[in-house]
Structure 1
Amino acid sequence: MSGQKTYDVIIIGAGTAGLPAAICAADRGARVLLIEAAADIGGTLHWSSAQMSGAGARRQKAKGIDDHPDLHFADVMRISNGNANSTLVRIAVDQAAATLDWLDDLGFDWDPVSPTLFYGHQAYGRARTYWGLEQGKSLIKAFRQALKAHIQTGHVEVLLETRFESLVMDGAGVSGIAARSANGSVITAHAQKIVLTSGGYAANVDLYKEIQNQTQYQKAFCPAARGDGLIAARQVGANVINGHLYTISTLTVLKNDVFPSPLSLRVNTIPQNRPPWEIWVNDRGERFVAEDEPIIDHREKALEEQPGKRLWIVFDDVIRRESPEIIMAWFEPPMSDPYNSHKAFFRAETIAQLAKMCGLGAEALSDAITDYNRGQMSGADRFGRKHMPCPITQGPFYAIRQQGGALSTTGGLAVDSQLRVITRDGTPIGNLYAAGEVIGAGQTMGDAAVGGMMVTPALTFGRLLGQTILSW
């Protein structure tokens, strides 16, 4: 790209929302500039499981599942504890089936199990959760083909390794952008409409702390998710909301204690898939929740109140030998015996020794185990736990350290029902739109992890911006 060019629309971020926006705008004959900071398109889809949800799509009907957007809407508002933006949720669920059918038309590779009930997040009342055979990469594959056709016709120009820096204002509206290429040269371009689909800010530790007021524990994010779009929009008066809606959405074993840390492995703490044999304690050595609590949001909210948002899975040798395998997946070469070899796996001959190795309160841990064993024998657990197959009595004893964290950023740009970026007083900033994680996961999920309600709204809002909201 040389000199200064003018387009119908400039889209910042070639990810979950930006790719549908570019494709659908080009379908209408628009001249699109698509700017991406990374070396490839896809954004977080390279890391994401890319779960989607929708009521009434063709695949759901083919399975004989009776569903409706009203039911989907009710579920989302219930699971989000009423904290999601009902206006945006309504748009997302009403258009979700059309988005899923559009993916069908693009040749998306569905996992044959989709749609299904999924218990990794609080489950819906209907089987309406979807994903691809290669998770997020399945979406990239489908979009890459559609985008390629528009690049060949000249309707879409893609600039990779180009970092968006600022918005150009003209009166009360935005008229262009400034960006910087990999070689350091400044790029300026103008368009009738600017769409921010630049993702969240999980890779920007300082911005994460400022907006979320939380520590970023897990390195499970796109390195380009630095909040560039949010920062630029805030500089021209955009309002940033929902930072307080932080929620734990994942439990993992980390590689080290330097935060944010890469992921090492995941263990199975989903009671619908593997009822727990072990107990959970916090850093003080105290139990704090029924480990088989069926509503995951209740377990996650309980963990949010614990020191360091961390828990320890504690069990004995009988449980280690007789219970179903607890390790779900490794993100690095697996260890045949991780105990006392991996930084988060511990084994000791006595409970007191285990507490010392883990840095837990020895008396508190002993009391927690004694109390659990008493409840296991009587059938009346202090926290109401139902599944208690055996006591914790036979050494050696074991502990696995689990870290709670968030995969997405809840705080983001405030938008209206047309996805126009707005100021603190609700005034739209002229010609500026936003979709995807840049508007914050809190808009469509509130303070909970709602299945498919990060990816599907991003896809849907991107499609809508490309199809109907933008005009030229």
Structure 2
Amino acid sequence: MEDSRIPAAIFAAKRGLKVLVIEKASVIGGTLFVSTGQISGAGTVFQERKGIKDSPDQHYDDIMRINNNTSDPVLTRILVDHAGPTINWLAKNGYTIFENHPVKKMAHDAFSVARYQQGPKGTTSPWGGGIAILNAIKPIVEQEINNGSITILLETSANDLIQSSDGEIKGVVVENNLGNILEYRGEKVILASGGCASNPRLYEELHGVPLYCQMAYPQSQGAGLILGQSVGGYLRGGEKYSPLYGMILSDDKVPSTPYGVARNVMERLPWEILVNSQGKSFVKEDHESVDHIEHRIGEQPAHRHWTIVDQRMLDEMPEII
């Protein structure tokens, strides 16, 4: 279950609808189990407690500045207008954050004001903060299940959509853990199964580069993307894809599990030299913008780069992972 599906089910149920959730995994929570849980929003209770002045307009301007006006303006406006109230809703339901948060930056270029936050519960790994979000919303789901307004089918895969002659989606065909094929019909169908970062073949088809690092939720197979296209839908926004700063892989067999996360220029002064597959330097390693470095990485063959160091660097430079 992707994190967007949980609140969708909750609010549909609270509006009097009967909701059926198809979940491929054996538990609810989805990518929240492996997510960093880093979220940002303007006008939150966490900002208010620290006297931080912020607004959705400032949030919008920051996003557009950081991504050089490449994000969809309509979707970005929806995001900034609802991000703060969503975080406040989480807080009302028990969500807490680190004492020193909100902050201006976390792994990406900095906001103009402190609005990034991350929950401390479950953060046993660098990408474990999603558990704090799950801890806040799971009891609400369980209450709606007990009320009979939400039904969740675990270990069940959505295999096909039921489409009428006029093109309207009427339901879904699923397969449960016993191998039984079942049909469920409803007034509305939402595809909220997330991306394909655990499906190397689909990932490379969509992005044109191999899936090097395997750190996504196992059920992130892109099923919803495939189902949507099967009934006439289409994907957009692929041209906005950009790699991250980099991972140290465990081995050369890709996708590989990460050995460590490379600390970027916001966290340490780089001593190392970055080169591409041709052995050529391609970026100013200490450039102040992580976004700039990531986009330069995305311009290199197959999005690959290597870190060159000598023994003195290894002995004396700030830790790279």
TM-score, structure 2 normalization = 0.93
Q: Contact 1:167–1:174 at 8 Å: present in 2 too?
A: yes
Q: In the TM superposition, what whole-angstrom CA distance separates every residue of 1:353-402 from its partner, at most 9, and x where no partner exists? A: xxxxxxxxxxxxxxxxxxxxxxxxxxxxxxxxxxxxxxxxxxxxxxxxxx
- Could you tell me which amino acid in structure 2 is paired with residue 129 of structure 1? Y
Report the counterpart of residue 307 of structure 1 in structure 2: 301
What CA deviation, in whole Å up to 9, does each residue of 1:79-122 have, x standing for no partner? 22322111111011011111000000110132222211114111
For 1:296 and 1:249, the matched residues in 2 are separated by 9
Partner of 2:150: 156
Question: Paired residue for 2:112, among 114, 118, 125?
Answer: 125
1:231 pairs with 221, 226, 229, which one? 226
1:322 aligns with 2:316: yes
| Gap runs ≥5 in structure 2 | 123-128
What are the residue-to-residue correspondences of 1:75-86 with 2, within 5 Å?
A: 75-86=62-73
Name the count of aligned residue pairs. Answer: 313
Aligned partners of 2:41 and 2:59 also within 8 Å: yes
The one-letter amino acid paired with 2:187 is: Q
Structure holding more strand per residue: 1
- State whether structure 2 residue 20 is matched by structure 1 residue 24: no
Which amino acid counterpart does residue 176 of structure 2 have in structure 1? S
Aligned partners of 1:41 and 1:140 also within 8 Å: no
Which residue, out of 46, 56, 59, partners 2:46? Answer: 59
User: How far apart are residue 74 of structure 1 and its match?
Assistant: 1.2
Please give the root-mean-square deviation of Cα atoms over the aligned residues, in Å. 1.6
Q: Which residue of 2 aligns with 1:146?
A: 140
- One-letter identity of the residue aligned with 2:206: I
| Alignment-derived partner of residue 89 in structure 1 | 76
8 Å contact kept, 1:252–1:266: yes
Matched with 2:250 is 255
Match of 1:274 among 257, 268, 271: 268
Q: Structure 1: which amino acid aligns with 2:73?
A: S
Which secondary structure does the structure 2 equivalent of 1:188 belong to?
strand
Q: Structure 1 counterpart of 2:71, which letter?
A: A
In percent, how many aligned pairs have the same letter? 36
Quote the Cα distance in structure 2 between the aligned partners of 1:207 and 1:319: 39
Question: Which residue type is aligned with residue 136 of structure 2?
Answer: A
After superposition, the C-alpha distances for 1:270-329 in whole angstroms (9 at most, x for unaligned) are: 2232111222223333222111101111111222223342333233333333333332xx
SS in 2 for 1:218: coil
TM alignment of 1:127-206, pairs within 5 A: 127-133=114-120, 134=122, 135-170=129-164, 171-206=166-201
CA distance in 1, matches of 2:306, 2:215: 21
Separation (CA, whole Å) in 2 of partners of 1:50 and 1:119: 11
Q: Distance in 1 between matches of 2:215 and 2:193?
A: 17
* Deviation for aligned residue 1:250: 4.0
Q: Distance in 1 between matches of 2:265 and 2:148?
A: 52
The 1:191/1:215 distance shift into structure 2, 3 A limit, reads: same
Query: Which letter does structure 1 place at the counterpart of 2:46?
Result: R
Unaligned stretches of 5+ residues in structure 1 = 1-13, 328-472
**Aligned AA (2:222):** G
Whether the 8 Å contact between 1:219 and 1:262 is mirrored in structure 2 is: yes
Instruction: Quote how far apart the aligned CAs of 1:31 are.
Output: 1.0
Distance of aligned partners of 1:155 and 1:222 in 2 relative to their CA distance in 1, 3 Å threshold? same
Letter in 2 for 1:288: F
State the AA in 1 paired with 2:151: E
Contact kept? 2:23, 2:152, Cα under 8 Å: yes
Query: Which SS does the other structure have where 2:305 is aligned?
Result: strand
1:75 and 1:180, CA in 2 relative to 1: closer, same or farther beyond 3 A? same
Asked if 2 retains the 8 angstrom alpha-carbon contact of 1:164 and 1:177, the reply is: yes
Supply the distance in 2 between the matched residues of 1:230 and 1:76 (Cα, whole angstroms).
26
Match of 2:125 in 1: none
| CA deviations over 1:1-25 (Å, ceiling 9, x no partner) | xxxxxxxxxxxxx321000011112
The 5-angstrom pairing of residues 402-441 of structure 1 reads none
CA offsets, 1:328-357, max 9 Å, x none? xxxxxxxxxxxxxxxxxxxxxxxxxxxxxx
In structure 2, the CA distance between the partners of 1:117 and 1:109, relative to structure 1 (3 Å rule), is: same
What residue in structure 1 maps to residue 287 of structure 2? 293
Paired letter, 1:292: D
In the aligned structure 2, how far is the partner of 1:66 from the partner of 1:297? 25
Q: Distance in 2 between matches of 1:272 and 1:235?
A: 43
Query: Contact 2:109–2:291 at 8 Å: present in 1 too?
Result: yes
Aligned to 1:313, what secondary structure does the other structure show? strand
Once the two structures are TM-superposed, the CA of residue 78 in structure 1 deviates from its matched residue by 2.2
Q: Is 2:245–2:290's contact at 8 Å kept on the other side of the alignment?
A: no
Contact 2:242 2:298 in 1 (8 A): yes
Rounded Cα–Cα distance in structure 2 between residues aligned with 1:243 and 1:284: 26
In structure 1, distance between residues paired with 2:262 and 2:249: 11
Structure number with the bigger relative contact order (C-alpha 8 A, sep ≥ 6) is 1
